Amino acid sequence: MVYVVMGVSGCGKSTIADGLAKALAIPFYDGDDFHPQSNIDKMSSGQALNDDDRQPWLDILAVNIQLWNRGDGAVLACSALKEKYRDTLSKFGDVTYIYLKGSRELILDRMKQRNHFMKPEMLDSQFETLEEPTTAIEVDISKSTVEIINELKESIHAN
């Protein structure tokens, strides 16, 4: 199984996905590592990506998800903000989405404390793009990392 830990920038996708992968003893991948340089340059300059920018990135991830599903599975940290993005990601195989949900205020505070190409000023565009999933495992990010990972392990093993 491939688990996609999704949500807006700053919600803790990489931290939670990495911890979950370790807990499940499967590989972790960060979707940001698959962005073409042009996307990183655009975001670094304070510009939000549009759907045309995202599509090649999503296609690359979809192919990798197919490969990971054939292997040991994986946990992928990926924003997957729109339903059509999630459709692209899961077009070649099963994906379980894990939605990290939190308030704008909490996420903005976290973003101000890190060094990342996605700048805090771009958070509003993330929330504007977000289409909350209806079939994902939803997690409240105000909990500790350990609590979130334990909650996810319980939820995964229950299914």
Number of domains in the chain: 1
The average confidence (pLDDT) of the chain is 90
CATH code for the domain of 71: 3.40.50.300
Residue 159 falls within a domain, yes or no?
Answer: no
Instruction: Select the more confidently predicted residue: 107 or 31.
Output: 31
Please tell me the predicted confidence (pLDDT) of residue 40.
Answer: 86
Please tell me the predicted confidence (pLDDT) of residue 87.
Answer: 96
Please tell me the predicted confidence (pLDDT) of residue 117.
Answer: 47
Model's pTM, two decimal places? Answer: 0.89
Q: What are phi and psi of 139, to 5 degrees?
A: -130, 135
- In terms of Cα–Cα distance, which of 85, 76, 87, 123 is closest to 103? 123
Place of tokens 């995202």: 54
For residue 159, name the pLDDT band (cuts at 50, 70, 90): low
Residue 85, Ramachandran bin (φ over 0: left; ψ between -120 and 50: alpha; else beta): alpha
Share of the chain above pLDDT 70, in %: 92
Paired tokens of 148: 């979130």
Class of residue 34 by CB neighbours under 10 A (exposed 0-12, middle 13-18, buried 19+): middle
Which residue segment(s) compose the domain that 25 sits in? 2-154
